[in-house]
Structure 1
Amino acid sequence: MEQDTKPTQIEDGLIDFDGPEDPHQPINWPFRKKVVVTLLYSLCTMGTTWASTIYNSGLNQVQREFHVGQIVALLGMSLYLAGNAFGPLFWAPMSESYGRKPSVLLPIFGLMVFTFSYGAAKDIQTILICRFFGGIFGGAPLSNVGGVLADIWPPTQRGAALLLWGMAVIIGPLIAPIVGGAVVIGQPETGWRWTGYLTGIILAAILIASLIWIDESFPPVLLARKANRIRAETKNWAIHTKAQEANAGTSFQQVAGKYLVVPLEMMIDPIAFFINLYAAFCYAIVYLTIAALPFEFQGVRGWNAIVGSLPFLAIAIGVLFAAAINLWGQTFYRKRFIANGNRLVPEARLAPMMIGSFFFPAGLFIMGWTSESSIHWIGFSIGSACVGLGFFTIFQSAINYIVDTYLMMAASALAANMFMRSILAAAFPLFARALFVNLGLDWGMSLLGFIAAAMIPIPFLFYIFGKRIRAIGKRSKLTYVP
């Protein structure tokens, strides 16, 4: 559990860590502890993304029980994702004010409560309300865990840690429909309720383990606790930290501006806006693909709920290949980092994204033009794998780039990322059926492919001009090193 640090000296009442090698500074935690914390936070993240799609497995049962149409039933997923968009605007500032641990684990508890509640719902209104508020709470690890990893891992190792967390983000919503399909078939009338109960049980187990083994990692909060303890012991009320000094005498308006407006400002900071827009589009396409796979395999090909969910594994396989590319990207980054005098080189994080930018539209085109039932299903699955590979390299590079660019404001920057991608992901599945019915899977997926192809230059432009753009951004220039 957490331990307090003991100062070697106090100058002018200012408290700090006992030098760069202080073992209580999170960056100096033992490797094993860092791995455990990373795994548990990744499980928290997987639980929230799992919750986003497992609900869809019971859509037909929800429609029958509450006598609603498909669009109304599908709002259960869209409202969850809309909650994901707004939640981080509260949880990210909380993490930078009160610490990472409470800003993730308290929301996980809230998500667990609302997940059990939607499983026990007696009407469609209750389901939609619980799903929306569940999404608000579930957005916390999606924005705040990136900040944790920036706290505990040095730049040369952070990419691998972010890779593990990023895999949790995407594997959760891909595995959940398979498990949900089995639950629904096993419980033909009430299976949709068990998608909520099962998810709540999983979240409870993750929460208990996290409460036991996760320690606070945000340095300003750790130092504030240390200063508070020493003030109480010495009765020297002048003892404080740099963060407390900076925040002394701030008004409510200043606090609101710092902790609520900053994530919104990140949305228009040049680096964050364009990288987030690209990542958001790709993220939304993945959720649209989640809607397209049942349309293809259960609708066009007539497979049942379990077998029709197995092609989600094709996207997961693509993610595994993407993980290998991202590991290569970490090696590439390490070389650039050392060559730059052990200083951050955010643009070096974009190498995997440049590769993925070609695979992503290629996968969409393959899916579109292998969707006929007369064409073997493996073609559509290969396209899905390419989408998974392209998406994950783009998504992971974007996260790495944002964390390197904004560092101590990483949680707020990721909250802006989460807002943009969740808004798009909430909207895209709602028009999926209309898109595929009116244009067909072939031209519907091709339309998305053309848009993705038009965005291929983005990582190349940032790789070439990103350093100059960082120098002029209001927030990115704070960590800019010439």
Structure 2
Amino acid sequence: MEQDTKPEVVDDNLIDFDGPDDPYLPLNWPFRHKVVVTLLYSLCTMGTTWASTVYNSGLSQVQEQFHVGNEVALLGMALYLAGNAFGPLLWAPMSEAYGRKLSVLIPIFGLMVFSFASAVAKDLQTLLIARFFGGVFGGAPLSNVGGVLADIWPPTQRGAALLFWGMAVIVGPLLAPIVGGALVIALPHTGWRWTGYLTGTMLAAILVASMLWIDESFPPVLLARKANKIRLETKNWAIHSKSQETGTSFKEMSRKYLIVPFEMLIDPIAFFINLYAAFCYAIVYLAVIAFPIEFQAVRRWNEVVGSLPFLAMTAGVLIAACINFWGQLYYRKRFIANGNKLVPEARLMPMIIGSFFFPAGLFIMGWTAKKDIHWIGFSIGGACVGFGFFTIFQSAISYLVDTYLMLAASALAANMFMRSILAAAFPLFAKALFDKLGLDWGMSLLGFIAVAMIPIPFLFYIFGKRIRAVGKRSKQTFIP
């Protein structure tokens, strides 16, 4: 007996890709082109995080020129990071309306302009305003590049691309103080200005290369462009793409990028994972203050030599990259064993390892921060902090993506908002903390907080599935 079936309605005017092997689909780009695009977007990201800390190399010169204290001068970094928190609320919706390329390269141009503006600032107000708006523009790669990597890399290769991009996020702020210190030594009175000139010049070079070799990768925007071209060539005004059926209303964009991310701040999984990752991220920026205190104020090293121990933290990040790569292999085994279904908790293995190294590094830094103890001790502590941070940070990003799926953009926006706000606040009280408690007990206090957070990855590894099933937002994408 034949069953009545409704014929599938095919819209001949609807433009789509010509099957899964269509070369126009970014997933089918040549491997070499994908690597170049990933490299250039990672350089864009490194440029924005570089800009956040290179300014700190010239803090003493800023204080001297504008006759302000340390906390006021530090506002230059704090306001930049605050701009990072709010910028994605503008650039994320722009990426969906106009594509990834414009939503990253236009802000990079803005950051370049404000980097030069901060370099020529005649008063402190101009400097701080330029730094804040530089941060607003600099937030774009931090929020949008993850989407690019999802556009061009299949799931089996995406982990390595995200790992490379994640290294660019953290290597930038760790290398910048070394170069900035060299500029301050070479130019005793205007070195702080040249940190801005150098950043602007570097961003200009990255921007030119990106304009030449980066192609648009967001499929809905590509299909809309394809539909527009065919519509004009054929004069058939009914031709359109799927995204052009719904458009991008202000109400929907506001809900997606303003309301939902803030709702994520109170969803159980997002709140605790974001809090942990944000705390670790903020410690990196507090270390930007702690290292000069230890090696320049206590040990009397100059700005260049006193910045070299940042390489120890960078080495920790590189070692962590190997652990994260092992984590990808571990996740793949769990994924296959689970019938090719997502297992978000399997993403937490590197975080569990890093959760012990992170507080250990803080304690080592604290209790080797004495002039009569060899400098290698403090550096080893910094390497442990870098190792712990990167394993925790990358695992958190991967876990949020697996947990929230189609809501991942909002979960990551909440993550970025929280971590940027904490990173902006921590350096402001760093000097007061270390002046009153000393580096030993100041770093130990942070270590005790990190110890208190060690149970977080274990709790989510054991109970994460149950929590995902009841969370207001996580249950919307819950996969048993």
Q: Same fold (TM over 0.5)?
A: yes
1:188 aligns with 2:188: yes
- Distance of aligned partners of 1:255 and 1:160 in 2 relative to their CA distance in 1, 3 Å threshold: closer
Cα shift at 1:282:
0.3
Q: Does residue 462 of structure 1 match 2:460?
A: yes
1:335 aligned partner, one-letter code? K
Structure 2 residue aligned with 1:154: 154
Aligned partners of 1:340 and 1:323: how far apart in 2?
25
Matched residues in 2 for 1:311 and 1:20: separation? 49
Q: Distance in 1 between matches of 2:226 and 2:305?
A: 55
- Equivalent position of 1:3 in the other structure: none
Displacement of 1:409 in angstroms is 4.5
Are positions 1:239 and 2:239 aligned together?
yes
State the TM-score, normalized to the length of structure 2. Answer: 0.94
SS at match of 1:139: helix
Q: Please state how far the C-alpha of 1:318 moved relative to its aligned partner.
A: 0.6
What is aligned with 1:228?
228
CA-based RMSD of the aligned residues comes to 1.8
Pairwise CA distance, 1:163 = 0.7
Q: Deviation of residue 475 (structure 1)?
A: 4.1
1:121-200 to 2 correspondences below 5 Å: 121-200=121-200
Q: 1:85 — aligned with what?
A: 85
Mapped contact 1:156–1:330 kept (Cα < 8 A)? no
CA distance in 2, matches of 1:110, 1:414: 23
Indicate the percent of aligned positions where both proteins have the same amino acid. Answer: 80
Matched with 2:364 is: 366
Higher relative contact order (CA 8 A, sep 6+): 1
| Matched letter for residue 150 of structure 2 | A
Matched, 1:23 2:23: yes
Q: Name the counterpart of 2:4.
A: none
Counterparts of 1:203 and 1:10, CA distance in 2: 47
Contact 2:256 2:410 in 1 (8 A): no
Amino acid at match of 1:46: M
The 8 Å contact of residues 166 and 396 in structure 1, kept in 2 or not, is answered as yes
Equivalence map 1:30-429=2 (5 Å): 30-247=30-247, 250=249, 252-429=250-427
Compare 337-346 and 155-164 and name the one that shifted more: 337-346
Q: Distance in 2 between matches of 1:212 and 1:408?
A: 31
C-alpha distance in 2, partners of 1:413/1:363?
29
Are the structure 2 counterparts of residues 103 and 116 from structure 1 closer, same or farther at C-alpha, using a change threshold of 3 Å? same
- For residues 195 and 434 of structure 1, what CA distance do their matches in structure 2 show? 26
TM-score normalised by the chain length of structure 1:
0.94
CA spacing shift, 1:151–1:330, aligned 2, 3 Å = same
Alpha-carbon spacing, 1:83–1:228, altered in 2? closer, same or farther (3 Å): same
Q: Which residue of 2 aligns with 1:440?
A: 438
Q: Deviations over 1:313-360 (max 9, x none)?
A: 110011111011011111112222222333333222211111101100
Give CA-to-partner distance per residue, 1:105-148, whole Å, 9 cap, x none.
11000000000000011011110000000000001111111111
CA distance in 2, matches of 1:480, 1:441: 45
Separation of aligned partners in 1, 2:431 and 2:199: 27
2:100, 2:217 within 8 Å by CA — same for their partners in 1? Answer: yes
Moved more, 50-59 or 372-381: 372-381
Task: Give the Cα–Cα distance (whole angstroms) in 1 for the partners of residues 244 and 334 of structure 2.
Answer: 36
Distance 1:387 1:104, change over 3 A: same
Q: Secondary structure at the match of 1:342?
A: coil
Is the 8 Å Cα contact of residues 318 and 386 (structure 1) preserved in structure 2?
yes
Runs (4+) of structure 1 moved beyond 4 Å?
A: none
Against the structure 1 CA distance between its residues 232 and 470, is the aligned structure 2 distance closer, same or farther, given a 3 Å change threshold? farther
- Indicate if the aligned counterparts of 2:104 and 2:144 stay in contact, CA closer than 8 A: yes
Q: In the aligned structure 2, how far is the partner of 1:238 from the partner of 1:336?
A: 47
Distance in 2, matches of 1:160 and 1:356, equals 19
Structure 2 residues without counterparts, runs of 5 or longer = 1-8
- The C-alpha deviation readout for 1:383-441, integer Å capped at 9, x for no partner, is 11000000000011112222333445444332221110010000100111110111111
Inter-CA distance 240–343: structure 2 relative to 1 (3 Å threshold) = farther
Displacement after TM superposition at 1:181 (Å): 0.4
